[in-house]
Each structure stands twice: as structure tokens, then as C-alpha cells.
Structure 1
Amino acid sequence: MMKGVPRYLVTLLVLALACSLASAYDPSPLQDFCVSTNDSASGVFVNGKFCKDPKLMLVSANDFFFSGLNIPRDTSNPLGSTVTLLNVDKILGLNTLGISLARIDFAPYGLNPPHIHPRGTEILVGVGVITLVVLEGTLLVGFVTSNTDNSLFTKVLNAGDVFVFPIGLIHFQFNSGHTNAVAFAGLSSQNPGVITIANAVFGSNPPINPDVLAKAFQLDRNVINDLQKKF
């Protein structure tokens, strides 16, 4: 007990902290479903979305359905990777359910660069390569803890392996093999968001003052200018 503080105030403080922590995540649903809609006249506003009224027969099976996640994506970009995210904007029935899904395609030596999901923990399943013959693949993955120690946790994943990236921590996936690879990820939010570190720091609009970045990264200002031009 803190000296001079009544017991009931301590109890209220603990309860307030517990409630504030709980509200940091997607709220638990209080009904079977709350299918998202852009029509504000058809329902109530829940968790950032208006919901269809199921009593008016506005909800259908298609609100919980997506087709085509088996199709390989184009990875002919500078990073050699493509993320296909199925969040509440793609599957309207995910609203209030607190989950989403992503397919990640990798070209040989493709990279899903260091990034964070501010609203979701991620669990990644390595499912092998997409080729006509070989059915194996290798992903180098990892995450870094917060600034208390900046520890790196890294692992090489093969087909069928699973890895968890805790919420809000910087993480990455790299195809260290010479064949195409694909992985699926589940996220603990209907709209987990993504912040790609390099894009946010060097590609902000308007740009961050180069002097700030030069001091932060301990680099020459000309190097910062060059990096900002790339993003």
C-alpha cells in the first residue's frame, strides 16, 4: 500500500490501468457479427465501421468470403516481395472479430523489409516455395525488442515452420533461397496497420529535416539526402 493513499483509490487505479490496457486492442464482439458497410443509414457505428443490419437481410455469405489467395503474386519490384493483406476492408465480416490474414510472396532473395504492426501480433507460417518441381523453401525471419536492450530474435524457417512476431516490434522476413517462396501470416487485429521503417523515416511527406536524421543515424547529411531521394 502506498503511504497516505486510501486503499479504494489504489483499487480504482489498478482497475483504470486494466481498462486502459484492454482498450488498446480490438474490442471483443458483443453479438454474432457486425459486417462492415459504408452506408451509415443501414446500421450502427462499431469499432470504426458502420455495420449492416442482419435483420434487414443485408448480410450474406459473401461478406465472410474471399477467393484467389492461392494465386502467386507479382514480385517484380525492388524488394522482391508482395504482401496481400486481407483485413476488414477486403473481408467485411472481419469487423469486430479482431483478426486478419496476409499472404507474402517472395522472389529469390526477396525481402519484406523491417516494419511494425501497431495494432496486431503476427504469426507466420512458412509453406514452401511456388515452383513446378521443388516443394521446399527457406525464410530468414526475426524481430528486435524495444530500446531496453534491442535484442534480435531470429530464426531460419522451412516449409511448415511457424514463427510469432509480438505486437509493435520491428520485424522482417527474407527469402534466403534461390527459388520463389510464399508464407501466410495471421494477425490479431481486423486492421493491424503497417509502418515500414525505411519508408516512414526517409520517405515522409514532407521530408524530415536531414539534420535530424543525420544526427539520429550518425551519418553525413549528404548520405541522408541521397536516402531521402530514393524513397
Structure 2
Amino acid sequence: MFENKVCIVTGAAQGIGKAIVERFASQGALMVYALDMNEQALSTAYEGVNNVTSVVMNICDRQAISELVEQVQADYSRVDVLVNNAGITRDALIEKMTEDEWDAVINVNLKGVFNLTQAIAPIMMENNAGSIVTMSSVVGTDGNIGQSNYAATKGGVIAMTKGWAKEFARKGAQVRANCVAPGFVATPMTENLPEKVLDLMRAKTPLGRMGTPEDITNGVEFLASDKASFITGQVLKIDGGLVL
């Protein structure tokens, strides 16, 4: 499905991002660039996988992004798929949330997405093809207590995506932009939560379980692929019926 495609995935060292990279690689991608700040996890994540290049990177570092994009252009002259998956949480009730907690989440989850997309979308438009999939959340569509910063970013990427769907195709380029909005997913971000909290998450979900990274990857794979060639500006919720 991704034969001869050049892909970039952020937040790629573990969890959903790692599942996405592995899916693209197994589907025959020419090269998948796996970006993450976690050097230790990234160093072992793709050992022996010839069509994955691991890149230790902070997506808030615009110079590093510029250097990467220059290298990708030099090697392949194109980027076919960008998955903006990197994200962090710094949860707190609004009266207790610090400015640092607010800024950290805004910088990574919102500005980081802007940084990568700003660098890569022009390449896609020049090549008249490309798919951008950005990770939102049901928190970005329906809110959640104690996540003002996270909700702002995940709602923000939806708004940007809808604008991009119009902007990137305005001159006829077949460049698409969509979002995936997961519900409760079993990842390293949730594995340390108390079991009673995990039970509550499962109880709130009509399908009675938490999602898996593979569940989310299935949706990303579809939106990134040519099977979704007439889909742009959309938000695909993958939440087990959590938000109806």
C-alpha cells in the first residue's frame, strides 16, 4: 500500500507512533523517517529495519527540521506522507496549571505540528501529491476536565487541518490533510495510571475496552493511503464509541 513512498512520522519511538512506522515499513515504504526526542527508546526501536531512518529531534527546533527536510529532498526529492503524532500532556485543573505547563503542551502539540507541516507541505504541493495526518483527540472535540492546554492543542490541530485541506489544494495539488481523534488508548502514556482509572476508562467506552496502537494505526494507514484519495479536511474518531 505504501510501495515507493517516503514517509515522516513524529513521536515514533513507542506507542502509536512506533506502530505507525512499523505499518508503513511493512507495507513497502521506500523510507520511513522516525522522529522522536527519546534517544534511548529510538536507538533500539527499529534495529534491523532497513527502510526506517531514526532521527533524534525536537519538533520545536525549526533549524533541525530545516536540515532534515533538506536531507530528505536531497535523497528522495519528495515526501509522500507526514504523520504529526508527537504529543505530550501536562494535566492540571485551570486554577493550578502553571504557565510552564501551558507553554510546554502548546509548543509541542500545536506549534510542533505547525513547524513540520510548514516545512513539508510546500514539497508536497510542488510534487502535486501528499497526505498529512495529524493526531488530534476526542479531548479536542469534546473537552476534558484538567486538560485545558491539551484540549486547546488538539482542537487547534483540527482547525489548522481544515484550513490546510483548502489551502494546500487551492491550485489543484492533490495534497490532503486529515485528523485522527483517538479515545482512550493503551500506550506508555496511560500504562502507569491506577487500575481503577483504567477500569473507569473502559466502563465509559461502549465497546468495553481501551484502544490499541494498532486500532489507531488502522485509521492512520487508511487516511495516509491512496484509498482515501477523495478524503480531506476530516476528523476520524477512533474511540470505541466514547463520544457519540
Q: Highest CA radius of gyration, 1 or 2?
A: 1
Larger strand percent: 1
Q: TM-score, normalised by structure 1?
A: 0.30
Structure (1 or 2) with the greater helix fraction: 2
So what's the TM-score if we normalise by structure 2?
0.28
